Amino acid sequence: MTGWPTAGGPGRREKADLSRLSGVPVELVGVSRWYGNVVAVNEITFSLTPGVTGLLGPNGAGKSTLLSMIAGLLPPSTGVVAVDGRPAWRDPSIYRRVGLVPERENLPGYLTGRGFVEYAARLHRMPDPRGSAAEAVRAVALEDAADRSISGYSKGMRQRIKVAAALVHDPAILVLDEPFNGMDPRQRLHMMGLLRSMASEGRTILFSSHILEEVERLGERILVVVAGRLAASGDYREIRRLMTDRPHNFTVRSSDDRRLAAALLTEESVFGVEVGSSGLAARSADYGGFARSIALIARSAGVSLFEVVPTDESLESVFSYLVRR
Amino acid sequence: MTGEVPASGPATVVGPRPFRAIVGSTMRSILGRRRTLLVLLFLAVPILLALLARSLPGGAGQQEAVIGILDSLVVRVVLPLVALLIGTAVIGAEVDDGTIVFLLVNPVARWEIVAAKLLVAEVVTLLLVVPVTALTGAILVAGDPSVSSSIATGFAAGVAVGAAVYVAIFVAMSVLTSRALVLGLGYVLIWEGFLASLFAGTRNLSVREYTLSIAQQVAGVDLTAGQAIAWELAVVMSIVVFLAAVAIAIRRLASFSITGGG
């Protein structure tokens, strides 16, 4: 695994310094992007090497903005976004090496699926557009529907035909914005297999998702983006550990909250309790351990448990923990 | 660096230039739109009006009336609106629905995209407005010795130049703004229809004036009660405005940014 420079670092506001680039497939150095006063991407630095990388973050974290910049569709406000060692912005020649699957679902409805992929092949000046299109359509397993008008396609079919169009020129770098949106579990599995096999051929694949499980199953490496910042990057197991080690909050309702709170405080893994009108709030470092031990503690204290609810299991709270870390 | 990646570098680029593919796709998208039907209905209006004018008693022998119909209906209304509807459809429609991204993520020179799109818009617009102008004029002047028959030819020639310039302007507008249709309509109604003709100076900046000046020169008849700008100026300005619009469209498309996925 190559180095993963962490986000932030000293503010790099100077003009793009191309000599710092190492020429890996995709490289971002001190990249920020803002719209008016709103900062969408804040001082992000990372590089991508062949293999699958998952870009994880809640909606609105700046994932799409990052992908747009990598795909040369948006200039960074500061910093450099480079593909193969060259700035991606205003250089259509990068698309010989890059394939993009955008998030939007609008597709030219006057074309058939095959026609759409073939058009992409012609725009890429493929020697045999028909043959290349047929191959790409086969790769996403859409042969049966390929000759129907795109206007009648389901969400999952649209996703797959977009992937086919992005694959048609055999790109070394594939960028996918939320590729699993709208796919059923079977299609999802197929797409994951496809991306995995493309990565094993030495391609650099970056896909975004707001669903942890998708990234976990596919990404060998993970970039976590929260509120425009790179919150974590590296091996997914490492990040998974960071996520599970964080403190967990629970809300407990019982027959005697005060007595239970006192009993809980003697427990090693519990490092905070608070009794309020809506019940007892407890914080524990050990998610599974707390759930197991609270029943025993309650019984030995002579308290009946009515309800134990983890209060912060949303992805957003996981992300915000990583940011504060 | 990446080992055995079967990436297509420049060496494998052997297919034809994508110009034809873009032209073909643009034609299909235009023909499949409801807007195109609207344009056809619109084009029937001057022809029907000319037929009506000739069928009424006393409908002959009035050169001013003939010029009036061709100027105020064809040059002022039909020409710019057809150019607007077609010109904003070739790129503007893709900008509106976001499908432009699929055109931009290809190693295609931006001038080639603009050239292909512009060609389609120009050809379609010219094929629609020039015959309609010629036919409307022919109906109005046919068999009427008191009206100069060259008026029809003159207007057809002027409208051809005007259409070419208008279309380039509207193609550029649709790359510059996502509200090209509304802004274009405002430009046609307010600038071309009203403000530009108020002063001698602003006339030099009006496509309608170029159209009339060239029509008058070709017809050899005074169509504007002596108000027209010099035809040489009209020709030069038409070329300048056309080239400027094309240059702006190419420049703007080269740095066309797309935010996120929506």
Instruction: Tally the residues of chain A.
Output: 325
Residue A64 placed within a domain = yes
CA A8 to chain centre: 19
Say which of B5, B14, B106 has its CB closest to residue A202: B5
**Which tops the pLDDT comparison, B178 or A11?**
B178
End-to-end CA, chain A: 24
8 Å CB contact of B15 and A172: no
Residue A149 placed within a domain = no
| Cβ–Cβ contact B201 with A under 8 A | no
- Predicted confidence (pLDDT) at residue A11 exceeds the cutoff of 50: no
Residue B103 placed within a domain = yes
- Strand partners for A315: none
Domain co-membership, A272 together with A213: no
8 Å CB contact of B29 and A110: yes
Question: Residues A124-150: what's their mean pLDDT?
Answer: 96
Domain co-membership, A62 together with A193: yes
In terms of residue numbers, what domain contains B229? 18-50+63-254
Residue A127 placed within a domain = no
Residue A78 placed within a domain = yes
Q: Which of A243, A259, A275 is the last residue of a domain?
A: A243
Q: Compute φ and ψ for B96, nearest 5 degrees.
A: -60, -50
Q: Where are the alpha helices (DSSP H) in B56-149?
A: 63-68, 79-90, 92-97, 100-104, 110-141
Residue B79 placed within a domain = yes
Domain co-membership, A83 together with A221: yes
CA distance B232 to B214: 9
Domain co-membership, A24 together with A64: yes
Indicate which CATH number applies to the domain containing A257: 3.30.70.100
Residue numbers in A near B28 (CB within 8 A): 110-111
DSSP one-letter code for A95: G
pLDDT 10s digits, A153-211: 999 999 999 999 999 999 999 999 999 988 888 888 999 999 999 999 999 999 998 87
Question: Residues B73-86: what's their mean pLDDT?
Answer: 95
Question: Residues A253-262: what's their mean pLDDT?
Answer: 90
CA distance A320 to A165: 36
Residue A220 placed within a domain = yes
Domain co-membership, A89 together with A183: yes
pLDDT 10s digits, A52-109: 999 988 888 899 999 999 999 999 999 999 999 999 999 999 999 999 999 988 999 9
- Predicted confidence (pLDDT) at residue B97 exceeds the cutoff of 60: yes
Question: Residues A296-314: what's their mean pLDDT?
Answer: 81
Give the tokens for residue B10: 């420049």
Residue numbers in A near B254 (CB within 8 A): 90
Classify burial at A214, counting beta carbons within 10 Å of its beta carbon; exposed 0-12, middle 13-18, buried 19 or more: buried
In terms of residue numbers, what domain contains A304? 246-324
8 Å CB contact of A96 and B13: yes
Residue B55 placed within a domain = no
Question: Residues A258-284: what's their mean pLDDT?
Answer: 85
Residue A134 placed within a domain = no
Say which of B21, B28, B109 has its CB closest to residue A122: B21
Question: Residues A305-315: what's their mean pLDDT?
Answer: 72
Domain co-membership, A283 together with A309: yes
- Predicted confidence (pLDDT) at residue A239 exceeds the cutoff of 70: yes
Residue B123 placed within a domain = yes
CA distance B260 to B262: 6
Residues 125-164 of B with CB under 8 A from A: none
Residue A146 placed within a domain = no
**Structural domains of chain B, count:** 1
CA distance B96 to chain A (A): 10
8 Å CB contact of B262 and A103: yes
Q: Which of A190, A224, A243 is the last residue of a domain?
A: A243
Task: Say how many C-beta atoms besides its own lie within 10 A of residue A180's C-beta.
Answer: 25
Question: Residues B147-172: what's their mean pLDDT?
Answer: 96
CA distance A305 to A298: 7
Strands A51-56 and A38-48: unpaired
Using only the alpha carbons of chain A, give its radius of gyration: 24
Name the band, by pLDDT with cuts 50, 70 and 90, for residue B13.
low
CA distance A47 to A117: 30
CA distance B122 to chain A (A): 22
Give the tokens for residue B119: 């060609």
**Structural domains of chain A, count:** 2
CA distance A138 to chain B (A): 18
Residue A11 placed within a domain = no
Strands A305-310 and A78-83: unpaired
Q: Compute φ and ψ for A201, nearest 5 degrees.
A: -85, 5
Residue B3 placed within a domain = no
Domain co-membership, A317 together with A177: no
Residue numbers in B near A119 (CB within 8 A): 21, 25
Domain co-membership, A316 together with A223: no
Residues 96-115 of B with CB under 8 A from A: 97-99, 101-110
Residue numbers in A near B112 (CB within 8 A): none
Residue numbers in B near A116 (CB within 8 A): 102
Domain co-membership, A83 together with A226: yes
Q: Where are the alpha helices (DSSP H) in chain A?
A: 63-70, 113-123, 129-139, 155-167, 185-200, 212-218, 236-245, 257-265, 287-301, 315-324
Question: Residues B38-57: what's their mean pLDDT?
Answer: 90
What pLDDT sits at residue A296?
87
Residue B233 placed within a domain = yes
**Residue closest to A252 by CA, chosen among A295, A203, A285:** A295
8 Å CB contact of B13 and A92: no
Quote the percentage of chain B above a pLDDT of 70: 92
Residue B42 placed within a domain = yes
Indicate which CATH number applies to the domain containing A224: 3.40.50.300
Give the tokens for residue A227: 């509120």
Domain co-membership, A183 together with A73: yes
Domain co-membership, A231 together with A286: no
Residue B250 contacts residue B110 (beta carbons within 8 Å): yes
Q: Which of A243, A278, A300 is the last residue of a domain?
A: A243
- Predicted confidence (pLDDT) at residue A16 exceeds the cutoff of 90: no
Domain co-membership, A250 together with A298: yes
CA distance B230 to B217: 9
3-state secondary structure A228-294: CEEEEEEEHHHHHHHHHHCCEEEEEEECCHHHHHHHHHCCCCEEEEEEECCEEEEEECCHHHHHHHH
Question: Residues B215-244: what's their mean pLDDT?
Answer: 94
Using only the alpha carbons of chain B, give its radius of gyration: 21
Question: Residues A221-242: what's their mean pLDDT?
Answer: 82
